[in-house]
Amino acid sequence: MTAANKLPVNAEHKAAALPATADKISVIDEDVCLPAVVVKARALDNNIRWMQRYAASSDVSLAPHGKTTMTPAIFRRQVEAGAWGIGVGTAFQAKVAIEAGVPNVIMANQLVGKANIRLVSQLMKHSSTPIYCCIDSEANARQLSDYFASQGQKMRVLLELGVPGGRCGCRTEEEAYALAALIRQLPGLTLCGIEFYEGVIHSDDERADLAIIDAFLKRVLSVTQRLAADGAFADVDEALLTGAGTVWYDVVCQQMKRADLPTGFRYAIRPGCYITHDRGVYAQAQEALRARDPLSCDLGGDLASALELIACVQSLPEPGLAIVGFGKRDVAFDTGLPQPIALYRNGQKMPFKASSAHTENLMDQHAMLRYGEGLSLQVGDLLVFGTSHPCITFDKWKTIYLVDEGYNVLEEMETAF
């Protein structure tokens, strides 16, 4: 749309606020275009503080994976609560984190691609914020070193260890030792520690998963101990050992506590989805974690679901079927469909039992909701939905609303995908 064709209408994103009065913006009173995604402020604050307490009680630093939300306003809240840094997945995400004031940035990924490398180099020239990236191959090591050395820079790198069939990372100890030796010889790199991600180990058999994770973490610690003994991290004042997602962070913390590493190591965990938690896969993961980890119970409280989607009933075409105005373009659907948790009519909360309705299918812009005779719905009713896997929901929105318990907007939080 050209400037000449741009309409003078205040709607810059799909959930734009168009309040009837200037004193407040209420999602429930339909002052925003629906569907809309909201984050409950009380639950968000609870989750930030709970995980920070968990990390402190485990003697590890917290570097939450920011790719979950890519929301600078949330990054700032995490850092203000005590997070040592933020984890990211790409060069652009690193830029967003630095602009948000994050003190340390772990790019838990390989830095490849000429423009990506140039971007990180520019970030290093204009900011003193430490940026770390992962490395698992000789080819990548040489490419990075050649570029950063040509710029008079040294890129901080973390040697990544992985598992067969998983994502990136050296598969054997021999590969890791050889790569570490090469990195130390290259003029454009500084070996700053070890990175791993155990979250790729996940099946329906928790006992089997724990056995595989235990063996993997022991290998990680063995490699780290040998490299430390060989002086591989002598060029840095503080070496970093970092891993853990939102499913197995307790297991990683327990292993780190038992690690016999020299002083000068910082342990950092990188859970991400705890920030808004959910009513699906991460609720199940946290329940399993609390069953095996006394510390998570002793801290008091627990993680709470903070992310919700609100949409209108737009059609009741046949008995027991409601068409609701949202779809795959608006919410995660990869690990379970969003399910209704509350009903509002004309701004008032109505009686609702979660068992009375369920989402059975999603299309691009439509949700098919089946409901029983005990539930009365009307076109125009608002339904609140709980979700599973927050990452996929966040990246579908330009603006997320931070709301109070009455769904009054406290802040419009911009995302940066």
Interval 238-258: pLDDT, tens: 999 999 999 999 999 999 988
Q: How far apart are CA 325 and CA 9, in angstroms?
A: 22
Q: Give the model's pLDDT for residue 4.
A: 64
Q: What is the mean pLDDT of the chain?
A: 96
Q: Which residues pair with 382 in a beta bridge?
A: 312, 344
125-183 tens-digit pLDDT: 999 999 999 999 999 999 999 999 999 999 999 999 999 999 999 999 999 999 999 99
Residue in the block written with tokens 């090591």: 141
Specify whether the CB–CB gap between 107 and 90 falls below 8 A: yes
pLDDT (tens digit per residue) in 54-103: 999 999 999 999 999 999 999 999 999 999 999 999 999 999 999 999 99
pLDDT band at 388 (very low <50, low <70, confident <90, very high): very high
Asked whether the predicted pLDDT for residue 2 surpasses 70, the reply is no
pLDDT per position as a tens digit, 14-59: 999 999 888 899 999 999 999 999 999 999 999 999 999 999 999 9
pLDDT, tens only, 332-352: 999 999 999 999 999 999 999
In the prediction, which pLDDT does 252 show? Answer: 97
pLDDT band at 1; cut points 50, 70, 90: low
| Angle at alpha carbon of residue 396, lines to 393 and 399, rounded to 5° | 100
The CA distance from 411 to 17, in Å, is 11
- Distance (Å, rounded) from C-alpha 316 to C-alpha 380? 10
Residue 196 amino acid letter: F
pTM recorded for the entire structure: 0.95
DSSP string, 150-184: HTT--EEEEEEE--TTSSSSBSSHHHHHHHHHHHH
Spatial neighbors of 333 by CB under 8 A, at least 6 apart, are: 362, 392
Residue 361 phi, psi dihedral angles, 5° rounding: -165, 150
